């Protein structure tokens, strides 16, 4: 097992990473000194795969467990579902000391975290992420939220968990599409923060694809460590934490133009290549690094180019985004692999040219 300490003063916690960890949850939760009641929020698929094992691990330590099921899908990240969960929590007589355990991907983590942050003005939260994206990104850093009408992730809070348990064995049942979504965030994290980890990824893509236990643990550990380090320096996203949005400025615009019909990993991958190309055009990232980035993305099975979508629509969607001021778009750019910066100086016409593919690289 590898342990990452997220140092946030009185909100500090550990992220424990490795195979077989869910079976240790009972011991660790009893060490945290919670009462004997617990609530698990999960979805039916994850519950089918891991619910029984987790229940056994908890009841072995005399916990009384209530499991609340939420259907799968982003549309469950809503005030309506949160409202239903508040009622269910009241029905199972939970108290302010009763922890909520979120077992699942980012949807369950964000929704369950939002409910934990708001029910009775906050009950303890423990994240048990089971997708690669959730293990390396969404379970760490305390952003919890629901979507509301067109406001994606806009109704929420910063609410740090008491513990994150990332059992890498759970990644073995992930559909390929979900693994690719997580890999986009893994590549992003290496690209913005660690050239050594980027080189590690280059050398281990086959072993990641074959779900090699040691390599998965290393990948989750390294990526989660990058997230933890950035969050420690900027918990409430006022500066440095923006770099985690590398690839997401264009990615979000593609999602909105295509009505979320493309996978999140795919749009982030296209966004990363575009932002890297823009970086190169603005005299930063060199050609060799740009090619290395593209190669890793292609080898992961993610796209590097836009499908047949009108580029003007994407640029228009970015202009509507809050990150635009005085005809300049806020972008996360790469100085080199492993080093990112926030730039407020990217012109929409350069973005358009790069997306059309008019790049001389």
Binding residues (CB under 6 A) for ligand NAD: these are: 43, 45-46, 49, 72, 74, 77, 104-108, 110, 130-131, 133-134, 137-138, 141, 143, 153, 170, 173-174, 178, 181
Stretch in the footprint of ligand GLY (CB under 6 A) among 56-64, 96-104, 136-144, 311-319: 136-144
State in angstroms the smallest separation of the CB of 146 from ligand GLY. 16
Stretch in the footprint of ligand GLY (CB under 6 A) among 10-18, 85-93, 112-120, 237-245: 237-245
State in angstroms the smallest separation of the CB of 272 from ligand GLY. 14
Residue 160, phi then psi, degrees to nearest 5 = -75, 145
Footprint on residues 238-257 left by ligand GLY (CB under 6 A): 241, 244
Which residue of the chain is nearest ligand NAD when measured via CB?
Answer: 106
State in angstroms the smallest separation of the CB of 141 from ligand GLY. 4
Footprint on residues 308-327 left by ligand GLY (CB under 6 A): none
Pick one of ligand GLY, ligand NAD, none as the site partner of residue 153 (Cβ within 5 to 8 A by kind).
ligand NAD
HEC secondary structure over the chain: CEEEEECCHHHCEEEEEECCCHHHHHHHHHHCCCCCEEEEEECHHHHHHHHHHHHHHHHCCCCEEEEEECCCCHHHCEHHHHHHHHHHHHHCCCCCCCCEEEEECHHHHHHHHHHHHHHHHCCCEEEEECCHHHHHHHCCCCEEEEEECCEEEEEEEECCCCEEEEEHHHHHHCCHHHHHHHHHHHHHHHHHHCHHHHHHHHHHHHHHHCCCHHHHHHHHHHHHHHHHHHHHHCCCCCCHHHHHHCCHHHHHHHHHHCCCCCCHHHHHHHHHHHHHHHHHHCCCCCHHHHHHHHHHHHHCCCCCCCCCCCHHHHHHHHHHCCCEECCEEEEEEEEECCEEEEEEEECHHHHHHHHHCCCCC
Q: Does position 143 bind ligand GLY by CB under 6 A?
A: yes
Residue closer to ligand NAD, measured from CB, 72 or 202: 72
State in angstroms the smallest separation of the CB of 147 from ligand NAD. 8
Pick one of ligand GLY, ligand NAD, none as the site partner of residue 289 (Cβ within 5 to 8 A by kind).
none
Stretch in the footprint of ligand GLY (CB under 6 A) among 75-83, 135-143, 144-152, 285-293: 135-143
CB 51 within 8 A of CB 200: no
Residue closer to ligand GLY, measured from CB, 241 or 292: 241
Q: Does position 137 bind ligand GLY by CB under 6 A?
A: yes
Pick one of ligand NAD, ligand GLY, none as the site partner of residue 127 (Cβ within 5 to 8 A by kind).
none
State in angstroms the smallest separation of the CB of 47 from ligand GLY. 25
Pick one of ligand GLY, ligand NAD, none as the site partner of residue 106 (Cβ within 5 to 8 A by kind).
ligand NAD
Which residue of the chain is nearest ligand GLY when measured via CB?
Answer: 244
Residue 43: left if φ>0, alpha if ψ -120 to 50, beta else—which one?
A: beta
State in angstroms the smallest separation of the CB of 47 from ligand NAD. 9
Residue closer to ligand GLY, measured from CB, 124 or 142: 142
State in angstroms the smallest separation of the CB of 198 from ligand NAD. 20
256-259 CB contacts, 8 Å cutoff, 24+ apart: 256/317, 257/309, 257/310, 257/313, 257/314, 257/317, 258/309
Residues that bind ligand GLY (CB under 6 A): 137, 141, 143, 237, 241, 244
């Amino acid at each position: 097992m590898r342990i990452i300490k997220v140092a946030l003063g009185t909100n500090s916690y550990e992220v424990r990473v490795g195979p077989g960890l869910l079976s240790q949850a009972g011991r660790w939760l009893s060490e945290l000194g919670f009462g004997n009641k617990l609530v698990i929020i999960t979805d039916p698929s994850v519950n089918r795969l891991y619910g029984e094992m987790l229940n056994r691990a908890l009841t072995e330590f005399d916990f009384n467990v209530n499991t609340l099921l939420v259907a799968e899908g982003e549309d469950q990240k809503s005030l309506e579902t949160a409202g239903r969960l508040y009622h269910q929590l009241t029905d199972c007589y939970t108290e302010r000391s009763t922890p909520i355990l979120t077992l699942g991907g980012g949807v369950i983590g964000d929704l369950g975290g939002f409910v934990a942050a708001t029910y009775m003005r906050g009950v303890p939260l423990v994240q048990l992420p089971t997708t690669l994206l959730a293990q390396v990104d969404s379970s760490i850093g305390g952003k919890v939220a629901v979507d509301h009408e067109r406001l994606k992730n806009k109704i929420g809070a910063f609410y740090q968990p008491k513990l994150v348990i990332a059992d890498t064995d759970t990644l073995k049942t992930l559909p390929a599409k979900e693994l690719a979504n997580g890999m986009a965030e893994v590549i992003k994290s290496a690209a913005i923060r660690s050239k050594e980890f980027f080189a590690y990824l280059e050398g281990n893509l086959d072993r990641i694809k074959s779900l090699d236990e040691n390599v998965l643990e290393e990948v989750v550990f390294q990526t989660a460590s990058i997230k933890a380090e950035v969050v420690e320096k900027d918990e409430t996203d006022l500066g440095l934490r923006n770099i985690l949005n590398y690839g997401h400025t264009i990615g979000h615009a593609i999602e909105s133009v295509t009505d979320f019909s493309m996978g999140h990993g795919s749009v982030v991958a296209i966004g990363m290549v575009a932002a890297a190309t823009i970086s190169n055009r603005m005299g930063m990232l060199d050609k060799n690094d740009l090619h290395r980035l593209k190669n890793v993305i292609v080898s992961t099975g993610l796209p590097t180019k836009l499908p047949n979508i009108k580029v003007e629509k994407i640029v228009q969607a970015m202009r509507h985004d809050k990150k635009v001021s005085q005809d300049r778009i806020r972008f996360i750019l790469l100085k080199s692999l492993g080093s990112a910066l926030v730039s407020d100086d990217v012109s929409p016409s350069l973005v358009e040219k790069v997306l059309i593919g008019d790049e001389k690289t």
